[in-house]
Structure 1
Amino acid sequence: MQSLDLDVLERALEWKAGGHRVWLVTVAQTFGASPRPPGSLLAVRDDGILVGSVSGGCIEDDLISRRDSFTGRKPLFESYGITSEEARRFGLPCGGQLEVIIEPEVPSDDLRALLDHIASGRIIGRSVDLATGAWSFAPAQPAQECERTPERFTSVHGPRWRMLIIGASEIAIYLAQVAETLDFKVSVCDPREEYRSAWRVAGTQWVDGMPDDAVVAFKPDGHTVVLTVSHDPKLDDMALLEALKSEAFYVGSVGSKQTSAERRKRLADFELTAAQIARLRGPVGLSIGSRTPPEIAVAILADLVAARNHIVLEKVERDERRKRA
């Protein structure tokens, strides 16, 4: 879940507690290019104030102007961009179509229950009964997509994306700066005093202690990334031994192919299973000839974004080669 979507739920609950009526809007499906992915949230207050987004702004304006026509507990669907003229009117990219589900009356108890699930660190599926508007919850997987059947609509929600960086190296500086813009809450751990005193990246949280303890205390979940960039095998390995046993969605370590092969042998000596070691992305990042710290950070984050968006890069590369053949 993006922090913006979490904010939508929190604000909607606050507004309802203040006596306002609130409409909850969720992107149900997209076709072609779309400004916001399925599952994105928007809340509209009875006075036209909104939080969140489902498009670049034009669809939000339409929903605000029509909000009083959406009544009752039963949810309804609205489609945008069916024709090219409509796509232009609502500011959708060429060929883009968007379907949203509008819930005119969401009980505060349902919003509170969803926020409680998210706060616990669980990835949860929220199912909306299309006949009654009632919500139900069930465990979900990070890669699970929004789903619509004739009976219900299900969206997937989870805690905010977090990143734990081991090693306050120059690579870590660029990783942290860009990761913040990608909606990651970034924490950094490095027990070496000279690195701690030199760390100056605003918005990040410093974690005291040794890397293995930091990973355990972090309690990695399906929305957690652990990256080791200290260039010190002792520090990196300590973190990896715990991260690879955790539920972290992405675990990566910088280094050459030879360094990465040696690291895998060491991890096996510490009795990690083959399946656990196979989760390690190392050398981490896309192979784009990166040499400088900023380039390495870009390569890592590009691979990370692809993984978060469930993009299989090998398939993309094969498809591109076929197009050029």
Structure 2
Amino acid sequence: FLVNSGSEANDLALRLAWAWSGRRNIVSLLEAYHGWTVGSDAVSTSTADNPNALGTRPSWVHAVVSPNTYRGNMTAGQYIGTVLDKLTALDASGEGLAGFICEPIYGNAGGIPLPTGYLKRVYQEIRSRGGLCIADEVQVGYGRTGHHFWGFEQQQVVPDVITIAKGMGNGHPLGAVITRKEIADALEKEGYFFSSAGGSPVSSVVGNTVLDIMEDEQLQANARKVGDHLKERLEGLKQQYSLIGAVHGMGLYMGLEFVRDHVSLEPATEETMALCDRLLELGIIMQPTGDHLNIFKIKPPLCLTQESADYFADTLESVLQEGW
């Protein structure tokens, strides 16, 4: 299915899960963002994007604890256990399950990897109940991590439904939902799907051209090479400046998390915003992310050069050294 945005793609993915299963309940993660349509916003729980997110979830959305491998205090098994507890409660209700949606790498939380084996076990449990596993790759997929084309490859799983957008159109409004034919056919029970502009000839040419350029210019390999270099630079700054708590992510999707204390991990929210303001004065646009707004989301174009990466790292180092 071709659509116009990631929000539309995730909305359609939910409809596919409902049509396929004949049920309504969706399990999602806390601290997640999936879009701004009614459906995609319903499964979005990031208070950074919507301060009222946790109080406005419809009854069919069942959010589980964020498996945050930096801030969380649970093991991988315990995080999986929180999902199993939620599924057991749904089993007892007799309402059943339609599906599970998450980013395979925690995008809005700063590119934090999920615990090893997390998705493999969760996907197994979801499928055993007749639900679909949806991977939101809108932010983290399409070669951005450098080491993989898809974020879910890091977890060694294959989802039932993949949603993509953003980099797919390189600024043009283009998104897609990828799934198996039998799942797509299930949607016919709810009527014929169409999008007036989704998949238009212009959008299709743009999408094909983006893929051609990614291949010709080896942009995934560039994301890996330049991203690994930038991460090494940022890890070096972490050793020098205590304000930096962690460098998350890989390739050209990273999160630089600022904390006031490395034990309590108290978020350095005000400091992060001040850093953003100072960097803007120096010509670098940064945006804080995460529920505490204490993380730099580092998501530059895949054509980023090593020189540009060094310019960012050098400028950040100057600001950290001289003050802001």
TM-score (structure 2 length as normaliser): 0.29
Higher-Rg member (1/2): 1
Instruction: Kindly indicate which of the two structures has a greater share of residues assigned to strand.
Output: 1
Higher RCO structure (Cα 8 Å, ≥6 apart): 2
TM-score (structure 1 length as normaliser): 0.29
